[in-house]
Amino acid sequence: MDYRKLLKLPQSCVHRLMNHRLSWLGLAASLPLFGVVTAFAVAGNGDQPEPPHIDVETVTQRLALPVYTSSVSTTPYWRDEQVQRGDTLGRLLNRLGVGDGEAQRFLNSSPLSKNLLKLKDGQTLSVQTNDAGELFGLRFLNDDENGEQVMVAIEKANGQWRASADPLETQTIQSMRSIDIESGGVGAALSRAGVPPEIRAQLNEIFTDRFELASLKQGDRINLVFESLLFNGSPIANGNLLAAEVEHGGQSYRAYYFAHDSESGAYYDENGNPIKKGFNEQPVRGARISSGYGMRYHPVLHSLRMHKGVDYAAVTGTPIVAPADGIVATAETENGYGNVVVIRHSAKMSTLYGHMSRFAPGMHAGKSVKAGDLIGYVGSTGRSTGPHLHFEVRINNEAVDPSTAALPTPGLSAQQRLAFRQSSVKLSANLKLLRELPVTVAQLD
């Protein structure tokens, strides 16, 4: 274009021509950019090959399922089962899938009494079995004919079944209770605190020479330390009341148990003086206590049982005397005790004499006896392994340790006093703990 001609044109024409020229220049400048983009896009699509043609065919093939074989363990293991209403041993084992015919036949012909094999609703039975339904052992607690708790065990050893129990390892712990007496009275307070009946009976007797437990009123307080026996972590019995503290009428009374030997003991104050005087007489004069109160292995039943009295070793025919005044309540023959006499000494206390060879002449219910009167002779009648006297003391029909509740309390020798101080210091610390801590129930391993 000849720009010189523009110089001769009117100004308005020059503007129109310049605008027309710039529009084409803009279009021309933008064309190369569109060309690049278009070329790029075309070039990208052009580099990819056409997808190959694929023929799709559906094939159905039958597959065999893998064969699952369960592995049945023959390793014995223990399990606990709670007895349901109407359960027998056979019915309970069937519910557990135990189909051991040999075991069932042995249970039906067991040498144990049928009463020992009776189950109670809610009790726990331990069963040793395996996944194949074989039975290896049974264990459960039950009461014998005398109402005493025993550990019933039926086990298979060396391919043979036996209805017996080896001595069981029990754990003894110290249980503690702190009881504040409220308007309901001491009995209700002890019940609310979960104090076992046998411990309550012992407590009831300890301070009778100083005050009656029933006289405690609102605002008084009781602190207790006693033995609890555990089997497989569960309580099965209670032992001795080890320490008792009663705050009554603004005064404090304390009693500590001290074992004279493995079979007997008594209660003393913090200075080692006897708390109770006890009876004036021993039922068998000069005899030794061969088996004390508490849990023991029964030589006839071969089971762990609560021994609710003491045994005096003596030859057959040795005289047995009344240790205190009383009235004969029973003079008869029973399965467990054999020839047995029961004497009532007060409204709440009675004593029992078992396994006598024979009664004293004229012995009958209702007869009055004085301390030292002859009531019978040592023997081995009933369930017994040899001649001895089984002697029990019962408070409100609960058996208590005769050596602490009724028998004469001996003084302590110098050596015994030293041992007493050592044991009472530890028990005093536990009583102090109960006084200072806001607890009502505690246990010490």
Q: What is the pLDDT of residues 369-395, one digit of tens each?
A: 998 999 999 999 988 878 999 999 998
Which pLDDT does position 37 carry in this prediction?
39
**pLDDT tens figures, 222-257:** 999 999 888 767 777 788 899 999 999 889 999 999
Quickly state the pLDDT bin for 320 (edges 50, 70, 90).
very high
Q: Token pair of 198, please?
A: 């046998």
User: 21 falls in which pLDDT band (50, 70, 90)?
Assistant: very low
Cβ atoms of 257 and 203 within 8 Å: the answer is no
Give me the pLDDT at residue 155, please. Answer: 81
Least reliable range by pLDDT among 67-81, 130-144, 328-342, 369-383: 67-81
Asked if 88 and 119 count as a contact pair (C-beta separation under 8 A), the reply is yes
Contact 311, 331 (CB under 8 A): no
Place of tokens 């052009």: 46
Give Cα separations from 89 to 32, 80, 184 (angstroms). Answer: 102, 13, 43
Q: In the predicted model, is pLDDT for residue 190 greater than 80?
A: yes
So what's the pLDDT on residue 3? 46
Residue 166 reports pLDDT greater than 80: no
Torsion from C-alpha of 325, 328, 332, 336, nearest 10 degrees: -50
Residue (of 416, 391, 396, 417) closest to 406 by Cα position: 391
Could you tell me which CATH number the domain at 77-162 has?
A: 3.10.450.350
What pLDDT sits at residue 102?
A: 82
For position 378, what pLDDT does the model report? 95
Instruction: Indicate the fold that domain 171-277+410-444 takes in CATH.
Output: Nuclear Transport Factor 2; Chain: A, (3.10.450)
Distance CA 222, CA 153 (A): 39
Q: Is 149 helix (H, G, I), strand (E, B) or coil?
A: strand
**Rounded percentage of the chain residues whose pLDDT exceeds 90:** 26
CB 186 within 8 A of CB 213: yes
Give the pLDDT of residue 27: 38
Domain residue ranges of the chain, discontinuous segments joined by +: 77-162, 171-277+410-444, 288-405
| The predicted structure's pLDDT at residue 91 | 85
324 has a pLDDT exceeding 80? yes
Q: Report CA Rg, the chain.
A: 45
Q: What is the mean pLDDT of the chain?
A: 78
Average pLDDT over residues 154-171: 71
Give Cα 429 distance to the centre of its chain. Answer: 26
**What pTM, to 2 d.p., does this model score?**
0.54
**Predicted confidence (pLDDT) per residue in 363-374, tens digit:** 999 999 998 999
How confident is the model at residue 298, as a pLDDT? 46
In this prediction, residues 422-437 reach a mean pLDDT of 91
Same fold flag, 77-162 and 288-405: no
- For residues 20 and 274, the model is more confident at 274
- Enter the tokens of residue 419: 């041992």
The string of pLDDT tens digits covering residues 266-292 is 899 999 998 877 787 889 987 878 877
pLDDT of residue 78: 86
| DSSP-assigned states of every residue in 4-48 | HHHTTS-HHHHHHHHHHHHHHHHHHHHHHHHHHHHHHHHHHHHHS
Provide the pLDDT for residue 7. 44
Cα–Cα dist 349/353, whole Å: 14
For residue 18, is pLDDT > 60? Answer: no
Using the predicted structure, report yes or no on whether residue 33 has a pLDDT greater than 60.
no
pLDDT tens readout for residues 346-357: 888 899 999 999
List, for residues 101-150, the tens digit of each pLDDT value.
887 788 777 766 566 677 777 778 888 888 888 888 888 877 655 555 66
Q: Which CATH superfamily is domain 288-405 in?
A: Glucose Permease (Domain IIA) (2.70.70.10)
pLDDT of residue 47: 60
pLDDT of 19 higher than 60: no
Residue 181 or 442, more confident? 181
The more confidently predicted of residues 318 and 383 is 318
* pLDDT at residue number 211: 81
Cross-strand pairs, 356: 339
- Among candidates 212, 221, 219, which has minimal Cα distance to 183? 219
Nearest to 117 by CA among 104, 126, 127, 107: 107
pLDDT of res. 302: 46
